[in-house]
Amino acid sequence: MQKSSENSKKETNNSNQIRNGMVLELTIEQINADGFGIAREGDFTVQVADTAPGDRVIARVEHVSHHSGTAWARPLQAPQRGDKWKRHFCKESQQAGGRCGGCPLGHITRDVYKQVKLDTVADAFVAEELQLIPATLHCGVPKHYRNKSNFVVNRNKKGLVQLGSFAPRSHRFAPMQGCHINAHAITRLQREIQTLFEDNQVPVHPAPSGIRYVTIKAFSTGALLVDVVVNDEEAQNTEAVAQALLDIPDVHGVSVTCNPEKGNQLRHTSSHLHMGKNALCDRIADIQLRMKATTFFQLNNEIAAVMYQRAAEWCASAKTVWDLYCGIGGLGLTVAKSSGAVLYGCDSVDDAIDLAAKNAKTNQIDARFTSINLNTSFPSNWPAADVILVNPPRRGIDAHTMEQLGSKTASQLIYMSCNPTSFARDAQQLAQQGYILRDVEAFDMLPNTSHVELLGRFERGTK
């Protein structure tokens, strides 16, 4: 019987056909940016959760993609752990057997962690044949850095209200109790909101007029803003809920957003102020920035400040600065305040432009902000710039803007990016427009995740 069992195991492991439920003995060779250890089994690449290079594990296959020759597995036993693995700090993590996909790199040692992120950048740069590749990852505090969190509201089978997230690629609810990356003030308010909704039997999605999502924005002063997303504009008890939230210590304002649409998109329309203050100021580097609960902004104040200040160092002699995709003005205002430059900024979001103008006034900076959709339009009456700043969405600089940049004579272009792949692609296109990449640095804006932020300095050369 023993011999038959061994033969069966050998046959299973050597099979070129991997199936769901199959148990494999695997040696982890490397790790990817999503935190999965990589092993080879016949013609398949097997991604194994909660593993690191040097581990030898017995794992059960949970999903197979025959189109890509990839399988996903979870370890049942670990006969051998290498020196690059550590126990994940959060039991809710998908890597540790939970459902939350928020911290996929929380189970590897610090040296491997940094290398994984730098390799992500290197792979993107090599694919575009870029020669200048960052060798250092600028890091800050690894936990409790996140200044805003969007929570899914769920009532479980026991009737308890929970604020959490959706598991990756699904609508399954993932608990986020005691989250290790949210600011402490967010976690405290999360608990209080759960209790408030339970005690008052507040309807939650999918109940009619139920609350779908809650956004909590934390400021360095300890102040908090809340946005509540409801199914319909006439949701019952919204006013009572808003007042109860406003009565919680440190909550300064509550806004409401209506989202009746299906799917996971958080908001389809702008929020409106319901009670309390609409926006509050936070200090980032040397400037005060006014923002709302729903304002798009960097989630890590510490790293954002470091990046802003590095850009200001690169632009110390600037006299006229353009800030494209300016948002609420953080990057441009920092550069302008440091150099004394006149600032011109644009963004497609009217609310962001309104906040940017107020932020310029608060910081006593000479700035003009305009609402422009750079996909189709471009500033036509601004004076020539010494420096152009770009901080586009993840997709990178749009084609229309890239074409326009070719006709500008700014001596420098500073590019802040949240996506190494689009940055590398755009760097090649900028070179064709006459901008040569001279400096680039990598920053750990979202610790424990796969994301890497880049700041690049381009000098004007020749096409």
d(CA 106, CA 102): 9
The terminus-to-terminus CA distance of the chain in angstroms comes to: 74
Concerning whether 418 is annotated as a catalytic residue, the answer is yes
From 103, 179, 258, 418, active-site residue:
418
Contact of 363 with 295, CB cutoff 8 Å = no
In 3-state terms, what secondary structure has residue 323? strand
Contact of 121 with 162, CB cutoff 8 Å = no
d(CA 225, CA 246): 9
DSSP secondary structure letters along 27-87 = E--EE-TTS-EEEEETTEEEEETT--TT-EEEEEEEEEETTTTEEEEEEEEEEE--TTB--
d(CA 135, CA 63): 35
In the numeric block, the tokens 């590398």 are attached to 424
Contact of 67 with 127, CB cutoff 8 Å = no
- Residue among 253, 331, 266 at smallest CA distance from 293: 253
d(CA 225, CA 183): 13
Q: What type of residue sits at position 237?
A: N
d(CA 254, CA 272): 9
In 3-state terms, what secondary structure has residue 115? helix
d(CA 444, CA 114): 9
Q: What type of residue sits at position 125?
A: F
DSSP secondary structure letters along 362-382 = HTT--EEEEE--TTT----SP
Q: List residues with catalytic annotation.
A: 418
